[in-house]
């Protein structure tokens, strides 16, 4: 993340006789966008111990450094990732499918929003499998009035609704 420099002038009637500057983070949206770009470009790595140095008296007390090595298919490329790269040691679980060992119940049967383009939208949540549409009528007592003495008179209201669930 690149820090931004912000400055403020101090002085009589807005003159800049003294200037104070500080580092600040970019806006929340920009930080999130940068993290998403890094997430989509993340690369798998393996860890490998560095080669042992000369055996001296202290060599048994000092832990060896671990290096990260970029993976490409079944072969490992002896190349260190940049400090700004986002890397991972293990693949993420597939949250679309049920995997109790990973703690994922999957998305089959989950309620989704047909019109949303966000994470609650059917296109994304249902992982391309599509969704089912359920239509039902919801009824309840409404516009209730209390009559003296002693009963309540209500109308019955109803509404047709649709619910969408992932296949």
CA dist 3 and 25 (Å) reads 5
pTM over 0.75: no
Q: How confident is the model at residue 113 (pLDDT cuts 50, 70, 90)?
A: very high
The pLDDT tens digits of the residues spanning 80-102 come to 788 888 888 888 888 899 988 88
User: Same structural domain for residues 74 and 134?
Assistant: no
User: Same structural domain for residues 149 and 99?
Assistant: yes
The pLDDT tens digits of the residues spanning 7-53 come to 999 888 878 889 999 999 999 999 999 999 999 899 888 877 665 55
Residue 155, domain extent: 93-166
User: Same structural domain for residues 36 and 47?
Assistant: no
| Tokens describing residue 45 | 């790595």
Domain count, the chain: 3
Secondary structure element (H or E) that encloses residue 85, with its range = none
User: Same structural domain for residues 156 and 133?
Assistant: yes
What confidence score (pLDDT) does residue 81 get? 82
Cβ-contact 167, 114 below 8 angstroms:
no
CB neighbours (10 Å) of residue 142?
A: 10
* Long-range own/partner contacts, residues 48-52 (CB < 8 A, 24 or more apart): 48/76
User: Same structural domain for residues 143 and 103?
Assistant: yes
Task: Single out the residue of 50, 162, 167 nearest to residue 107, CA to CA.
Answer: 167
**Is residue 129's pLDDT more than 60?**
yes
In percent, the amount of the chain with pLDDT more than 70 equals 83
Cβ-contact 53, 62 below 8 angstroms:
no
Does some domain include residue 68?
yes
User: Same structural domain for residues 156 and 134?
Assistant: yes
User: Same structural domain for residues 68 and 104?
Assistant: no
């Amino acid at each position: 993340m690149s820090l931004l420099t912000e400055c403020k002038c101090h002085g009589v009637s807005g003159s800049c006789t003294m200037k104070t500057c500080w580092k600040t983070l970019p806006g929340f949206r920009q930080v999130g966008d940068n993290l998403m770009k890094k997430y989509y470009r993340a690369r798998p790595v393996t860890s490998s111990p560095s080669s042992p140095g000369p055996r001296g008296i202290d060599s048994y007390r000092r832990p060896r450094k671990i290096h990260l090595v970029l993976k490409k298919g079944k072969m490992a490329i002896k190349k260190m990732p940049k400090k700004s790269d986002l890397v991972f040691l293990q693949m993420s679980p597939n949250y679309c499918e049920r995997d109790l060992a990973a703690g994922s119940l999957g998305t089959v049967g989950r309620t989704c929003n047909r019109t949303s383009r966000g994470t609650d939208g059917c296109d994304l949540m249902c992982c391309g499998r599509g969704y089912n549409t359920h239509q039902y009528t919801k009824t309840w007592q409404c516009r209730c009035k209390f009559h003296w003495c002693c009963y309540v008179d209500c109308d019955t209201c109803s509404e047709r609704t649709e619910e969408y669930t992932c296949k």
